[in-house]
Structure 1
Amino acid sequence: MKIKSLLLGSAAAMMAVSTAQAADIIIPEPEVVEYVRVCDAAGTGFFYIPGTETCLRIHGYVRYDIGFGDAPQTGVTDATGNETWRKRARASFRVSTWADTELGPLRTYVETRWQRDTNTVTVVAPGAAATPVFTGYENAGEFEINFAYIDLAGLRIGKDESFFSTFTGYGAPTNYTFAYGPFDTNLISYTFTGGAFSAGISLEQGNNSVTTQWTQVALDANGDGTPDAVQFATGIGGWGIDDYVPHIVAGAGYDGGAFNIRGVIGYDTRNGAGQGGWAGKIRGDVDFDPFSAFVMLMYGENSSAYTEWRRGAAAAETFSVLGGASYAATDNLSVNAAVQWQEGNGAGDLWTVVGNVDYDIVPGFQFRPEVVYQNGPGADTIGGFVRFERSF
Structure 2
Amino acid sequence: MKPKTLLFGSAIAFAATSAYAADASAVPEPEPVGYVRVCDAYGMGFFYIPDTETCVRVSGYIWYQIGATNDDGLVVDADGNVIGGDTPNYQGFLPGGWNKSTRPRVNIDARSETEWGRLRAFVRFQADWGNELPGAFADGPVSTDQAWLSLGGLRMGYTESAWAETIFDVTNGGSFSDGQLWYGDQERHLIQYNFGADRGVFGVVSLEDDALEGRGFIPDAAGLIGYQAEWGAVWGRLAYDESYNEFDDSGFGAELGAQINLTRIGGEIRLMGWYADADHMYGTQSSYAGISGGSGNAEWSVLAAYNQVFTPKFSASTGFQYFNDFYEALSDEKTGLNGYSADLSFVWLPVDDFEVRAEANYDKVDTFDGSVAAFLRFTRFF
Q: What is the CA–CA distance in structure 1 between the aligned matches of 2:276 and 2:244, rounded to whole Å?
A: 16
Tell me whether 1:103 sits opposite 2:116 in the alignment.
Answer: yes
Change (3 A) 1:74 1:309: closer
Corresponding residue of 1:303: 279
Instruction: Say whether the 8 Å CA contact 2:308–2:315 is kept in structure 1.
Output: yes
1:116-155 counterparts in 2 under 5 A?
Answer: 116-119=129-132, 139=136, 141-155=140-154
Counterpart amino acid of residue 158 in structure 2: K
Secondary structure at the counterpart of residue 166 of structure 1: coil
Corresponding residue of 1:287: 261
Q: Which has the higher contact order (CA 8 A, sep 6+)?
A: 2
Deviation per residue, 1:97-145 (Å, 9 max, x gap): 011101111011000111213337xxxxxxxxxxxxxxxx762634331
Match of 2:372 among 349, 368, 382: 382
Change (3 A) 1:94 1:271: closer
Deviation per residue, 1:349-373 (Å, 9 max, x gap): 2111110111112111100011212
Deviation at 1:259, TM superposition (A): 2.0
Q: What is the CA–CA distance in structure 2 between the aligned matches of 1:33 and 1:317, rounded to whole Å?
A: 61
Corresponding residue of 2:347: 358
Deviation at 1:175, TM superposition (A): 3.8
Instruction: Say whether the 8 Å CA contact 1:113–1:143 is kept in structure 2.
Output: yes
Deviation at 1:275, TM superposition (A): 4.1
Q: What is the CA–CA distance in structure 2 between the aligned matches of 1:384 and 1:391, rounded to whole Å?
A: 22
Tell me whether 1:265 sits opposite 2:199 in the alignment.
Answer: no
Deviation at 1:183, TM superposition (A): 1.3
Deviation at 1:34, TM superposition (A): 3.9
Tell me whether 1:323 sits opposite 2:304 in the alignment.
Answer: yes
Counterpart amino acid of residue 363 in structure 2: Q
Corresponding residue of 1:52: 52
Change (3 A) 1:388 1:248: same
Counterpart amino acid of residue 121 in structure 2: T
Q: What is the CA–CA distance in structure 1 between the aligned matches of 2:377 and 2:229, rounded to whole Å?
A: 33
Deviation at 1:306, TM superposition (A): 0.8
Gaps of 5+ in 2: 1-6, 72-88, 327-334
Deviation at 1:177, TM superposition (A): 5.0
Counterpart amino acid of residue 155 in structure 1: L
Q: What is the CA–CA distance in structure 2 between the aligned matches of 1:271 and 1:31, rounded to whole Å?
A: 60
Corresponding residue of 1:184: 187
Q: What is the CA–CA distance in structure 2 between the aligned matches of 1:97 and 1:115, rounded to whole Å?
A: 25
Instruction: Say whether the 8 Å CA contact 1:275–1:304 is kept in structure 2.
Output: no
Q: What is the CA–CA distance in structure 1 between the aligned matches of 2:101 and 2:336, rounded to whole Å?
A: 32
Deviation at 1:88, TM superposition (A): 1.6
Q: Which has the higher strand share?
A: 1
Instruction: Say whether the 8 Å CA contact 1:205–1:247 is kept in structure 2.
Output: yes
Counterpart amino acid of residue 339 in structure 1: F
Deviation per residue, 1:29-68 (Å, 9 max, x gap): 8985543111111222110001111111111111122120
Deviation at 1:241, TM superposition (A): 7.4
TM (norm. structure 2) is 0.76
Deviation at 1:75, TM superposition (A): 3.2
Deviation at 1:286, TM superposition (A): 0.8
Secondary structure at the counterpart of residue 163 of structure 2: helix
Instruction: Say whether the 8 Å CA contact 1:241–1:270 is kept in structure 2.
Output: no
Q: What is the CA–CA distance in structure 2 between the aligned matches of 1:348 and 1:99, rounded to whole Å?
A: 51
Instruction: Say whether the 8 Å CA contact 2:242–2:248 is kept in structure 1.
Output: no
Q: What is the CA–CA distance in structure 2 between the aligned matches of 1:268 and 1:291, rounded to whole Å?
A: 36
Tell me whether 1:277 sits opposite 2:266 in the alignment.
Answer: no
Deviation per residue, 1:201-233 (Å, 9 max, x gap): 001004x55xxxxxxxxxxxxxxxxxxxxxxxx
Q: What is the CA–CA distance in structure 2 between the aligned matches of 1:373 and 1:241, rounded to whole Å?
A: 39
1:186-201 counterparts in 2 under 5 A?
Answer: 186-193=189-196, 196-201=200-205
Change (3 A) 1:252 1:154: same
Deviation at 1:293, TM superposition (A): 1.3
Deviation at 1:156, TM superposition (A): 0.5
- Provide the identity percentage: 27
Q: What is the CA–CA distance in structure 2 between the aligned matches of 1:317 and 1:35, rounded to whole Å?
A: 56
Change (3 A) 1:251 1:241: farther
Counterpart amino acid of residue 356 in structure 1: S
Tell me whether 1:62 sits opposite 2:62 in the alignment.
Answer: yes
Deviation at 1:147, TM superposition (A): 1.1
